[in-house]
Chain A
């Protein structure tokens, strides 16, 4: 199938390794392409990446375009924008998706600005549907769904008049499809003439900062909010997390109050998590916080206020003082088996 009119994904690589979010997006692109009866294409820019490209086909990708150049190993905006603009002009995809990462949010807007097409930031859901403006009826339009206004509303955005329709998509919200090792797709070298003037930025060094907090990878998260009351009381949250073998989370308010450092923050401005179990202690459950944790498999809420909104999205609710409840919880868990 030709990549004309395809659903295209900008494939992010870091140190010549494809980012998780790009696999998520290819899986979603397959989904959308099936509904639209079209193909999935990917664009992989970097250096020494052919092996990575081959691994992508199994997610239902019909064509992976690779653009290799030693100068493209590190992401910088100018050459990446130039390549994306050229390939979009040539292949005319109907949709282009980017991960809502620091890279995707750097290149996506530039491409949109160059092509004068729409771009919706930080989508959490994508659907296909119809749209009618005053004058025209459009079918098979991309619904770009995202929280807005600090998470208080969910907006469905469309950009029906111009192609491609583009969106950046939040990491971790699209599910990775089942790989099919027999899927037939091809890898195509795409040539873009690049001169030294296309590389005005130089990455002098990259520093990895040791992750002290791994909220994304945690199976169990115990989170504290302002209801914890003080930095000292937060010790109880740490103790429960430690007992259950989990990670410590916090609401923005708890971070702002100085109970715990920002790396622990769960929510729209912090980390989005979906653990097996999320225990919200003294967190009322603002929309911003819920946006970052409401896809947890199980949620326990511990709060003195029985009307706290957090209870409405929880599987278990305990009305009570966490200083009283948590020790019982720890005792019960330690006594198991």
Chain B
């Protein structure tokens, strides 16, 4: 008796290793130079799901991502690490989605899989840092949630119950809840396993055909009625029965009014010579204006 597990993942630009060319002259972000990576906390969420599967034989790990065709990279990576089923939700009509419209599309995809026990997501994605999509998806599904999970303490399949450790300010709490439940996972407790060599061999055709240059649509199984376990499933807006008015820009109440690049103030800096006298002078100034005491 296994569990039906779903993991929501995202491909993100690597904002944590930003180089000097990350910003264009007009102050907008130059996405082209930022490498696309598996959102770090989503890898931890995947690992948490795989651990639950390891401990409960017969469980199945489904991974879903929403994004452009190039986002298949994170699905392939998920297959290499142990996912049983992967699906890409991709449609031009999803473009411009804020967290609300994104959670709606994910909810539709989760319901297409159906009969789930636990939905895992990373706590937040490094491109937006909002931590909103998980809770918003849970609300749309009408299910309970535990956010900021650093560790699953216990799973009782018979009682359909979970106990999880939730990180909060200045400590943590242990929460008990029933399935179905959505968890958002932090980077504290689940160090991602590396891709398996055997699994890379199994899915290496996918690998060869999904390189950036040679994205091959014929590989993707876009049939709506059949859920494929051997390929990367591509689901468009119709495949997940999503209503167009709730998707993309149309379904997004938030609008970006203005984007500014961060400008340094560079005002009255006092340069201090690296000499005992100058440094002593600075320390005296700081003491006399009560900055140091």
Contact = CB atoms under 8 A, between A and B. Distances in A.
A325 B274 contact: yes
A298 B269 contact: no
Contacts, number: 246
Contacts of B237: none
Given A153-B260, A316-B282, A319-B274, A204 B129 contact: no
Interface residues of A, number: 91
A317 B262 contact: no
Interface stretch (A23-31, A48-56, A99-107, A229-237): A99-107
Interface stretch (A32-40, A62-70, A114-122, A183-191): A114-122
B230 interface: no
Given A121-B131, A157-B256, A318 B139 contact: no
Interface in B222-253: 252-253
Interface in A302-337: 309, 311-320, 324-325, 328-329, 331-333, 335-337
Contacts of A121: 99, 128-132
Contact of A209 (B130, B170, B253, B265): B170
Interface stretch (A3-11, A86-94, A142-150, A174-182): A142-150
Nearest to A286: B18
Nearest to A245: B293
Nearest to A209: B171
Nearest to B147: A106
A328 B279 contact: yes
Given A118-B253, A200-B144, A287-B262, A113 B271 contact: no
A155 B259 contact: yes
Given A206-B171, A277-B292, A109 B276 contact: no
Interface stretch (B46-54, B74-82, B174-182): B174-182
Contact of B276 (A151, A155, A205, A328): A328
Interface string A114-145: 10111111100000000101000000000110
A176 to B, nearest CB: 18
A317 B139 CA distance: 50
B287 interface: yes
Given A119-B99, A332-B279, A157 B23 contact: no
B159 interface: no
B168 to A, nearest CB: 5
B266 interface: yes
B29 A153 contact: yes
B279 A318 contact: yes
A78 B147 CA distance: 12
A148 B258 CA distance: 12
B285 to A, nearest CB: 8
A121 B205 CA distance: 40
Contacts of A107: 135
Given A109-B135, A162-B253, A208-B171, A331 B264 contact: no
Contacts of B100: 112-113, 116-119
A150 B175 contact: no
A194 interface: no
B11 interface: no
A337 B178 CA distance: 65
B257 interface: yes
B272 A318 contact: yes
A151 B261 CA distance: 9
Interface in B25-81: 27-29
Given A150-B16, A155-B258, A208-B170, A244 B272 contact: no
Interface residues of B, number: 80
Contact of B174 (A156, A203, A211, A324): A203
B217 interface: no
Given A118-B254, A121-B129, A153 B259 contact: yes
Given A78-B144, A158-B254, A109 B99 contact: yes
B136 interface: yes
Contacts of B168: 102-103, 206
A204 B139 CA distance: 23
Closest 9 CB pairs of A and B: A150-B15, A320-B274, A118-B253, A121-B130, A109-B135, A113-B139, A113-B136, A118-B254, A312-B264
19 contacts: A102-B166, A106-B147, A109-B99, A113-B100, A118-B98, A118-B254, A147-B262, A149-B15, A152-B23, A152-B261, A153-B29, A158-B257, A160-B255, A206-B172, A313-B264, A316-B282, A318-B274, A332-B276, A332-B283
Interface of B: 13, 15-16, 18, 22-23, 27-29, 98-100, 103, 126-140, 144-148, 163, 166-178, 252-262, 264-266, 268-276, 279-280, 282-284, 286-287, 291-293
Interface of A: 74, 76-78, 81, 101-103, 105-110, 112-114, 116-122, 131, 133, 143-144, 147-162, 200-209, 211, 220, 244-245, 252, 268, 276-277, 286-288, 290-291, 297-298, 300, 309, 311-320, 324-325, 328-329, 331-333, 335-337
